[in-house]
Amino acid sequence: MLQMLSIRDFVIVDSLNIDFVNGFTVLTGETGAGKSILIDALSLAIGARGEGGITRAGAEKAEISASFDIAKLQALKAWMQDNEIPNDGEQLLCRRVIYADGRSRAFINGQPATIQQLRDAGEFLVDIYSQNAHHSLLKLSTQREIFDDYCGLSPLALETASAYQSWQKLSQQRMEMEVNASKYADELAELRDKVRELVQLGFSVGEWEAVQQEHSRLSNGAALLAGCEQSRELLSEGEISALRQLTSAQNKLQGLRDFDASLEEALASLDAAIIQLDETDRFLNRYLQRAELDPEKLAELELRIQLIYATARKYRVRPEELEALLAEYKLRMDALESAQMDGELAKREIEAKISYENLARKLSEGRHQFAPILGEKITNEMQRLSLAGGCFEVALTSQVASSTGLEQIEFMVAGHVGVDARPLNKVASGGELSRISLAIRVVTAQQGTVPTMIFDEVDVGIGGGVAEVVGALLKQLGVGRQVLVITHLPQVAAQGARHLKVKKLQRDHVTLSTIEVLDDNARVEEIARMLGGIEITETTRKHASEMLMQ
């Protein structure tokens, strides 16, 4: 549930904080007051694409934050865990910062996020229906998505689409293999030769590093021996060696310590130095005893290095890439060998086709089961919306197997008695389309799990008694979830449990938009304004009071 929306320097809003409650809330205001700004701001907070010119004039950036109660949204919590987003199990805060130059930053619970992550989170939180949603309903793809979602078949539809893609991919591979059989046979033969050569080389990255290190040691063996012997001469073997000099200093200090105990610290440091130098000398002595010149081993290593470099040049890679190249060749060879096996690729294609057909049939069964149920429910709502005698059908027309299943889904409508049902996009009247669209949204939304629904002037083209029915439908929808409706109809506004009003004001010669929560008296005035226009009379106020009491 949406709990709070905070807007800073957005379009004509300088600073605005709005708290929301559960149930049915209406938002009204005069034309041009900025009612849709709230929807636009919330949409940006949950990942909508930002456009230029949305920061308030003179401001560096616009900031929008939306806080949601997610205590009951287990699917969203699982998504947050998968995306490593901080989660206290109770709240989620989406924040969007959009700079005047068009740059944008996003945050979820204070952690930087991508716009796609905002959008993904928003799908668990809010459904927004606008006038444009009427037009999207005319698309067969939208109708199919709404219907499958209502039936609870969306996961199965996605699985079916994935199975179809797998089937088509294998089919394409088989046809390609058949067309290019000779070419692939030549490629396979060449790959076998390459793999054989690389396997015989017996190369590994670990061995390559060891070979280079050993070669470096052996090729510099004489220098290593001479250097170590010279070092021992300086440390212990020479007449003026370091150990002799330090031992002499040690003896002198030991005698002087009896006269001044503070020399103990210097003597201790000298003792430690002698011990370290002695250990170094012992190490070098052991090294010299083990070290030897091995020209035969050196020659073997040089031949090995030359062979590796020659092979790398042949395949145009660096030596350390030979191991990965062999793995790549083996993978491609396995694929070609598998494809050349007697009917193996064709067998896999048939298995993929059967898997798709099983899923598609299951999807089709579910669609045929729910089509009359949805048709009946929307038909009943149409009667309440002054479309008496009208009916709604979900037409399922068989089609060639596709990623969307075995049938095309299309919403069919008859506006009144005696008229054949026609595709929704053939409905001529804008008012009829608005009412039918609202009936579809109200019925299908009842199956959804998204806790917050926002309707942005979806009641355009509706008036009179129908508007009162529309308000009742939206109020009914608000019993089980949070519903926010931007409306210009007093019959709808009067049925809201909470009423917000958008208004413009002038401050320092600048036009700003703000939102206020209306009390009972203010609601009467606002409903009266919506009923009577510019001049509000006592009769209009009385009518407004009666509407609110009803």
Q: Which CATH superfamily does the domain covering 1-132+449-518 fall into?
A: P-loop containing nucleotide triphosphate hydrolases (3.40.50.300)
Phi, then psi, of 120 in degrees rounded to 5: -65, -45
Q: What single string gives the DSSP state of each residue in 175-221? A: HHHHHTHHHHHHHHHHHHHHHHHHHHHT--HHHHHHHHHHHHHHHTH
Q: What is the pLDDT of residue 464?
A: 74
Count other C-beta atoms under 10 Å from residue 302's C-beta.
Answer: 14
What letter does residue 319 receive in the DSSP assignment? G
- Which pLDDT does position 287 carry in this prediction? 67
Helix (H, G, I), strand (E, B) or coil at 413: strand
**Nearest one of 413, 455, 452, 422 to 438, comparing CA atoms:** 455
pLDDT tens digit at each of 550 positions of the chain: 999 999 998 888 888 899 999 999 999 988 766 777 888 899 999 988 877 678 888 888 999 999 999 998 888 999 999 999 988 878 999 999 999 888 889 999 999 999 999 999 998 898 887 766 556 678 898 899 889 989 999 999 999 999 999 999 999 888 877 776 667 778 888 899 999 999 998 888 888 888 878 777 776 655 655 676 677 777 777 777 788 888 878 888 887 777 877 878 888 888 888 888 888 878 877 766 666 656 677 778 778 888 888 999 999 999 989 999 999 999 988 877 766 655 677 888 999 999 999 999 999 999 999 999 999 999 998 888 878 888 999 999 999 999 999 999 999 998 777 788 889 878 756 667 777 877 887 788 766 678 888 888 767 767 777 888 888 888 888 887 899 998 888 999 999 999 999 888 877 777 788 888 999 999 999 999 888 766 788 888 899 898 888 7
- Catalogue the E-assigned strands of 324-443: 391-402, 405-414, 422-423
The per-residue pLDDT for 440 is 84
Q: 3-state class of 67 per DSSP?
A: strand
Place of tokens 């009916």: 391
Q: Tell me the β-bridge partners of 17.
A: 6
Q: Where are the beta strands (DSSP E) in 325-404?
A: 391-402
| pTM to 2 decimal places | 0.61
Give me the residue spans of the domains in the chain.
1-132+449-518, 202-335
